A and B are shown apart, each in its own frame.
Chain A
Amino acid sequence: MSYIRLFGSIAISMALLSCGSETQNTSDKVIVPSEVPADLDTSQVFRSAQSIFYSMPSPLELTSLIKKAGGQYRKDLLHNPAKAIIYQSARTRALALGVYGADLSYSAVYEQQGDAVKFLAASKRLGETIGIQEAFSAEIIERTNANLDNRDSIMAIMTEMYWQTNSQLKEENRDQLALLVVAGGWIEGLYIGCSVYDPSEPNFNIQKRMSEQKFASQQLEEMFILMKDDYMVDETGKIFQPLFELFNSLNIEYEESSVSENKGNGSINIGGKTNIDMTREQFDNLRNIVFELRAKIVEP
């Protein structure tokens, strides 16, 4: 996919050159040219735009969902921040960065600031090894330290860090690493969700949230296939395969959707039930696969 993007982007660049690079300098330094010749074949550009718009699971949202479903904070589940130094390749570092990022958002969601600071340090250490600086700038670290007691501020800063990591990698055409960071974070979210579920006292809300990860699994599998020419992605895709297969085996039942407006505040509700069937046996399988996969990622 990176070749498609590169080719499409080169087409954009050629077009810009051919029309004299009429760049616009505005106060915020956004200088994207706004016009290109009509006879330019934009099919490559179109493919480029389509390949850039893709959805990925958000560990920030997943950890919030686990808390809302009644999951308790379990510090013992989280990865040891001191182990950030053991990862030696870009692949293992990106995956581990995703894991620490999810632990960071999990501890922030549960207002465990002391733990969050440790995961922030581990993320910074790993991020720097793969060339991510903006997400862990001195300014952001200072703001984090100054707002440790303010949950909303910490959440906003965590979001900003995650956004910066994701956007920097995409900006530099390192989508493969961005995918691995997201995949690592997704597995950590699944690991936390599957671990806080106690089979002797089943919490069906958590089980439901885990089964809903079928959608995220489909999105990730698609991205792994698109980028499989990359060695790192291919290697990682192989170890994720049992998980994708498990999610693919779950059936979904859809009802026709409907739209209604809440007369109180004017907000829109999109109705229509979606039910993802997951038996107890399938959930047990899911937990085993997730535990095994997470172990491979944190102890490469």
Chain B
Amino acid sequence: MIKKTSLFTLIFLLSQVTLVTEINAQCKSFTKKKCISNLGDYNSNGQYNGAVMFQGEEATLMQTFYSGQKYKLMICSQSSIAEDLFFEVQDFRGNLIYSSDGTDKNFFEFDVESTQQLKIRIVIPDDGGGSQIKKNGCVSVIVGFQE
């Protein structure tokens, strides 16, 4: 009995790991095909930051930006959550520098006077309707720079 339970557990865990890998692969594929090309004449910094996010969640990322460069920060998301999602850029003290809330823009182009870390906050608000289902989709943070 114990052996059967262990075997079942092992098979269950293996099936979950396979699903996890598939979800990760889908986000990577989405980012490669639908996001990076939108950087235009900016060079990607080469970093991959992609994950599945759900309604009602938020995520933050600290990113260093160097003086003397131009940047394009893009938050690329699947259509299932794109309408609801917004992002903010804050300085190290949390002061708001930019918010895409209320706009349909998914990118922010800027430069910095001095090299500094900025906080990027990505939010998918809950619709508050007590819906039985929560939307989700891949979200990727893309950073491009120009020399």
Contact = CB atoms under 8 A, between A and B. Distances in A.
Interface string B13-33: 100110111011111111111
Contact of B29 (A6, A30, A56): A30
Contacts of B62: 55, 219
A38 B131 CA distance: 7
B134 A37 contact: yes
A32 B60 CA distance: 22
A30 to B, nearest CB: 5
A10 B16 contact: yes
A87 B122 CA distance: 40
Nearest to B146: A64
Contact of A212 (B46, B66, B137): B66
A171 B59 CA distance: 19
Contacts of B131: 38
A74 B54 CA distance: 48
B94 to A, nearest CB: 11
Contacts of B6: none
A50 B59 contact: yes
A3 interface: no
A282 to B, nearest CB: 17
A82 interface: no
B59 A49 contact: yes
A12 interface: yes
Interface residues of A, number: 71
A250 interface: no
B92 interface: yes
B54 A54 contact: no
A6 B51 contact: no
A136 interface: no
Contact of B23 (A13, A35, A155, A216): A13
A268 B111 CA distance: 6
A183 interface: no
A273 B56 contact: no
A236 interface: no
Nearest to B115: A212
Contacts of A53: 49, 51, 59-61, 122, 141
Nearest to A168: B28
B43 to A, nearest CB: 6
Given A36-B134, A68-B147, A268-B108, A29 B29 contact: yes
B74 interface: no
A9 B113 contact: no
Interface string A257-281: 1010000000111111111000000
A9 B23 contact: yes
Contacts of A166: 46-48
Interface of A: 6, 9-10, 12-14, 16-17, 19, 28-40, 42, 45-46, 48-50, 52-61, 64-65, 68, 155-156, 159, 162-163, 166-168, 170-173, 209, 212, 215-216, 219, 254, 256-257, 259, 267-275
15 contacts: A9-B23, A16-B19, A28-B34, A30-B138, A32-B30, A42-B134, A45-B52, A46-B58, A52-B51, A53-B59, A54-B61, A58-B45, A166-B47, A270-B65, A270-B111
Given A35-B133, A167-B48, 16 more contacts: A19-B133, A36-B134, A46-B59, A52-B50, A61-B45, A64-B145, A167-B28, A167-B31, A171-B21, A209-B66, A219-B62, A219-B64, A269-B111, A270-B91, A270-B116, A274-B115
Query: What are the nearest 3 A-B pairs in CB distance?
Result: A34-B80, A162-B46, A167-B48
